[in-house]
Amino acid sequence: MPIRVENDLPARAALESENIFMMGENRAQTQRIRPLEIVILNLMPIKPDYETQLLRALSNTPLQINITYLTLSTHESKHTPSSHINKFYTTYDQIYKRYFDGMIITGAPVEHMKFEEVSYWSEIETIMNWTKTHVTSTLYVCWGALAGIYYHFGIPKIQLDKKLSGVYIHRVLDRCDPLVRGFDDLFTAPHSRYSGVSKEEVMKNPELQILAESDEAGIYLVKSLDERHVFLFGHPEYDRMSLDEEYRRDVKKGIPIAPPEHYYENDDPEMTPILSWRAHANMLYTNWLNFYVYQVTPYNLGIEE
Q: At what angle do helices 143-153 and 121-134 cross, to 10 degrees?
A: 70
- pLDDT category at 286 given cuts 50, 70, 90 is very high
276, 262 Cβ separation under 8 angstroms: no
Q: To 5 degrees, how large is the angle CA 286–CA 287–CA 290?
A: 85
Confidence of residue 82 (pLDDT cuts 50, 70, 90): confident
Q: Which residue has the higher pLDDT, 29 or 122?
A: 122
Short-list 110, 174, 101, 182, CA closest to 142: 110
- Measure Cα distances from 225 to 147, 210, 211, 241, 292 in Å: 18, 10, 11, 35, 11
The residues pairing with 232 across neighbouring beta strands, listed in sequence order, are 141, 221
Question: Given a cut of 70, is residue 84 above it in pLDDT?
Answer: yes
**What SS3 state is found at 220?**
strand
**8-state DSSP, 180:** G
Residue predicted with more confidence, 187 or 34: 187
Phi, psi of 211 (to 5 degrees): -105, -25
Q: Which residues are catalytic?
A: 142, 235, 237
At 17 the three-state DSSP class reads helix
Tens-place pLDDT, residues 147-198: 999 999 999 999 999 999 999 999 999 999 999 999 999 999 999 999 999 9
Would you state the pLDDT for residue 248?
96
Task: Please provide the DSSP assignment of 90-157 as one string.
Answer: EEHHHHTTB-EEEEEE---S-TTS-GGGSTTHHHHHHHHHHHHHHEEEEEEETHHHHHHHHHHH----
pLDDT at residue number 12: 61
Beta pairing, strands 158-172 & 135-141 = unpaired
* 45: confidence class by pLDDT, cuts 50, 70, 90: confident
Q: Has residue 28 got a pLDDT over 80?
A: no
Three-state secondary structure readout of 230-268:
EEECCCCCCCCCHHHHHHHHHHHCCCCCCCCECCEHHHC
The pLDDT assigned to 85 comes to 87
* Average model confidence (pLDDT) across the chain: 90
Lowest mean pLDDT among 42-46, 176-180, 277-281: 42-46
On the question of pLDDT at 136 being above 90, the answer is: yes
pLDDT tens digits, one per residue of 240-274: 999 999 999 999 999 989 999 999 999 999 999 99
Cβ contact 247:260 at 8 Å: yes
Provide the pLDDT confidence category of residue 9 given band limits of 50, 70 and 90: low
- Percent of the chain, pLDDT > 70? 88
Helix (H, G, I), strand (E, B) or coil at 170: strand
Distance from the Cα of residue 185 to its chain's centroid: 20
Of 45-49, 137-141, 142-146, which gets the smallest average pLDDT? 45-49
Decide which of 46 and 184 is more confident.
Answer: 184
Supply the pLDDT for residue 152.
98
How far apart CA 195 and CA 232 sit, in angstroms, is: 13
Q: Supply the pLDDT for residue 22.
A: 56
Rounded distance between C-alpha atoms, residue 147 and residue 159, angstroms:
13
pLDDT band for position 298 (50/70/90)? Answer: confident
pLDDT value for 121? 97
> Per DSSP, what are the bridge partners of residue 159?
195
**Are 303 and 76 contacting, i.e. CB atoms less than 8 angstroms apart?**
no
d(CA 82, CA 71): 11
